[in-house]
Amino acid sequence: MTWKPSQDVIEVQRGPDPGGLGGAYRAFGETLRGLRTTFGRLVEGPVTMEYPENKTPVYPRFRGRHKLHRFEDTGLEKCVGCSLCAAACPAECIRVVAAENTPDNQVSAGERYAAVYEINMTRCIFCGYCELACPFDAITMGNDYELADYTRSDLIFTKEMLLADPVERTPLRREGE
Amino acid sequence: MIVFADVNYVEGTLVMIAKSLIIFLFVLQVVPLILLLERKLLGRFQARLGPNRVGPFGLLQPLADVLKLLSKEKFTPATAVPWMMAMAPAISIFTAVVTLAIVPFGDVRHHALFGASYGLYGIDVSIGILWAFAFGALAFYGLMLGGWASGSKYSFLGAMRSAAQLISYEVSLALSLLGVVITAGSLSLTEIVAKQDHIWYVLPQIVGFFIFIVAAFAETNRPPFDLPEADAEIVAGYNTEFGGMRFGSFFMAEYINMVAIAGIATAMFLGGWHGPGPGSLGPIWVLVKMFLFVVLFIWIRATLPRLRYDQLMAFGWKILLPLATLNALVTAILVAA
């Protein structure tokens, strides 16, 4: 039903009366239509993705487990321990303790580095604000979403775990897929 | 008139005992199979896979279900009547299995293996289909006792619903089969099947067949008439308070009922053991027809939503009952004329 602004009264169109012989005839017809619909699904076959064996690919911008990065050429950590990610985090799940770089212990490219970098995955809401806040692109969101574990303490990810090459468990969706 | 089946063929006590054992074993084998078939088919109808994790192709799923039920606690609410709660599932199972006893799988035939003639059915009672109605009416006590003795409100509501529903639809079911009984001139299921050697009664009794299907869904509490156990409104109706194998027994009774109704439909409308090929294929044809009928049950379950309670009652009394009466009346006039 289309309504024009010039119309004062909206005419309501109702369906046919459900009772009576006509109603019974229509109900029978609709039943057959429903049976045809379900039979169509039987013919088409299942659309199930059998999860642990086959995984639905994620989009490139999917926000999964975090990754910390190093410079590829020097191998130094990108993170300088500025704690901007911790400040941006709405769930307050990031803990950063910074320390000074010394000439014989040069960990990051800047003056300071993160001596402790922990993300509490039980609290993280995967909003990606840490990634946005980071001035050096040191932390990004990865693709991995299989984070289940048995104890809560196992879900506090340390710097070593975040810096390690991530296990590529999740297939990535190609462009335009 | 040629008598095709030896009606009321009397057999020895030992043979009867053997037959009842076979029926019980058949039931125990066929219920898990139908359970699996239902879950698999329901999945396919909804573009899913259905259970496929336990054993190859999920074949051991029913076994896992039964083991789970067996290991569960038998819980009895403080307000319940325990001995009635124990009795109710037994009544349900008993009536369901007994109904299956009159389903004929084949004619009376001489078997070289046993050196005597046996009929391929549990018993051939002279009252035939009335037997099914008698035990169908008793089956309602299982649901009613189960619901009432649980001492919980949801169970009581479910029991009330099942009482009203079974009584309303029992009449239409009986009247829809009356047409066949009049046409065949016999109540005995074996004789009714024997009379269908040129034409199955589904063609002359097409109206009766449709009424029978609808009433059968209501009698077996299958969707779209599963109001006694409507999960969404009254949790699980009469079996809310039942746990473990007591619930399992109710569940099994529902499936045996489905098989029994499929068997009666096969005998009354679909020509029983008649089909192409030699006569020895008879039991296979009965099984095939019953299987197709069970598939229809599952297909309907996957398709139709549950009726509202007033719709159920109005449909039963205002449409189905007059139609069934008219059908029986017209058949009677045509046969007499």
A39 vs B299: CB contact, 8 Å cut-off? Answer: yes
Contacting residues of B for A33, CB less than 8 Å apart:
none
**8 Å CB contact of A37 and B303:** yes
Q: Is B300 on the interface with A (CB under 8 A)?
A: yes
Q: Is A49 in contact with A82 (CB distance < 8 Å)?
A: no
Domain boundaries, given as residue ranges, for chain A:
66-163
Taking 80 as the threshold, does the pLDDT of residue A53 lie above it? Answer: yes
User: Is B48 within 8 Å of chain A by CB?
Assistant: yes
Residue type, B19: K
Helix (H) or strand (E) holding B201: none
Contact B300 A35 (CB under 8 A): yes
Q: Which residues 115-144 of B have a C-beta within 8 angstroms of A?
A: none
Nearest to A81 by CA among A123, A128, A118, A120: A118
Per DSSP, A122 falls in state: T
- Read off the DSSP letter of residue B72: S
Contact A138, A70 (CB under 8 A): no
Share of chain A above pLDDT 70, in %: 94
d(CA A140, CA B324): 71
Distance separating alpha carbons of residues A52 and A55, to the nearest angstrom: 7
The answer, yes or no, to whether residue A165 has pLDDT greater than 80, is no
> pLDDT category, A94, cuts 50, 70, 90?
very high
Lowest-pLDDT range, A40-49, A81-90, B186-195? B186-195
CATH class of A66-163: alpha beta
pLDDT of residue B11: 63
Average per-residue pLDDT for chain A: 85
B43 Cβ under 8 Å from any chain A Cβ: yes
Per-residue model confidence as pLDDT tens digits over B43-58 = 889 888 888 888 888 8
Q: Which residue of B has its CA nearest to A21?
A: B319
What's the angle, vertex CA B114, arms to CA B10 and CA B33, rounded to 5?
85
The reply to whether residue A46 touches residue B44, judged by beta carbons under 8 angstroms, is yes
With CA atoms as reference, report the closest residue to A137 among A82, A68, A34, A72. A68
**Does B304 lie at the interface with A, CB-CB under 8 angstroms?**
yes
ipTM value? 0.71
Q: What's the pLDDT tens digit per position in A4-38?
A: 888 888 777 777 776 677 777 887 888 889 899 89
Give the pLDDT of residue B177.
87
Of the candidates B175, B206, B193, which has an alpha carbon nearest to the alpha carbon of residue B272?
A: B193
The answer to whether residues B238 and B229 touch, using CB atoms and an 8 Å cutoff, is yes
Q: How would you label B150-177 residue by residue, b for 16+ Cβ within 10 Å and e otherwise?
A: bbbebbbbbbbbbbbbbebbbbbbbbbb
- Contacts of B62-68 with C-beta under 8 Å, sequence gap 24+, read B62/B32, B62/B33, B62/B35, B62/B36, B63/B32, B65/B35, B66/B32, B66/B248
Partner residue facing A34 (CB), from B46, B303, B319: B303
Selection from B256, B323, B218 nearest residue B122 by Cα:
B256
- How many Å apart are CA B316 and CA B324, to the nearest integer? 10
Residues of chain B with pLDDT under 70: 1-12, 108-120, 122, 279
Quick one: CA dihedral B151, B153, B155, B156, positive or negative? positive
pLDDT confidence of A175, banded at 50, 70, 90?
low
Per-residue pLDDT at B2: 46
Helix H, strand E, coil C: the string for A68-119 is ECECCCCCCECCCCCCHHHHHCCCCCEEEEEEECECCECCECCCEEEEEEEE
CA distance B182 to B185: 5
Interface mutation target, options B44, B207, B308, B323, chain A, most CBs of A under 10 Å: B44
Give the model's pLDDT for residue B270. 85
Whole-number Å distance between alpha carbons of B210 and B219: 14
- Inter-residue contact A58 to A170 (CB < 8 Å): yes
Work out the minimum CA distance from A49 to partner chain B, whole angstroms.
Answer: 9
pLDDT at B82: 82
Instruction: Among B46, B304, B319, select the one facing A34 at the smallest CB separation.
Output: B304
Asked if A48 lies within 8 A of B49 by C-beta distance, the reply is: yes
Q: Do the Cβ atoms of A34 and B43 come within 8 Å?
A: no
pLDDT of residue B1: 42
- Nearest Cβ partner for A42 among B45, B300, B319: B45
- Asked if B303 reaches chain A (Cβ–Cβ under 8 Å), the answer is yes
Cα–Cα distances (Å) from B11 to A89, B51, B214, in that order, read 84, 44, 36
Own/partner pairs, A161-169, CB within 8 angstroms, 24+ separation: A162/A66, A162/A67, A162/A68, A162/A117, A162/A119, A163/A67, A163/A68, A163/A69, A163/A70, A163/A77, A166/A65, A166/A67, A166/A142, A168/A143, A168/A144, A169/A55, A169/A144
pLDDT at B118: 66
CB-CB under 8 Å, A46 with B48 = yes
Partner residue opposite B43 with nearest CB, options A24, A44, A46? A46
User: How many Cβ pairs within 8 Å bridge chains A and B?
Assistant: 37
Gap from B42 CA to chain A (nearest CA, Å): 9
**Cβ contacts (< 8 Å) between A50 and chain B: which residues?**
49
**CA distance linking residue B37 with residue B301, whole number of Å:** 13
Inter-chain touch A39–B44, beta carbons under 8 Å:
no
Report domain extents, chain B. Answer: 13-336
Answer whether 0.90 is exceeded by the pTM. Answer: no
Which residues, listed in sequence order, are joined to residue A157 by a DSSP beta bridge?
A: A119
To test the contact with chain B by mutation, choose from A26, A32, A42, A47 the residue with the greatest count of B C-beta atoms within 10 A, namely: A42
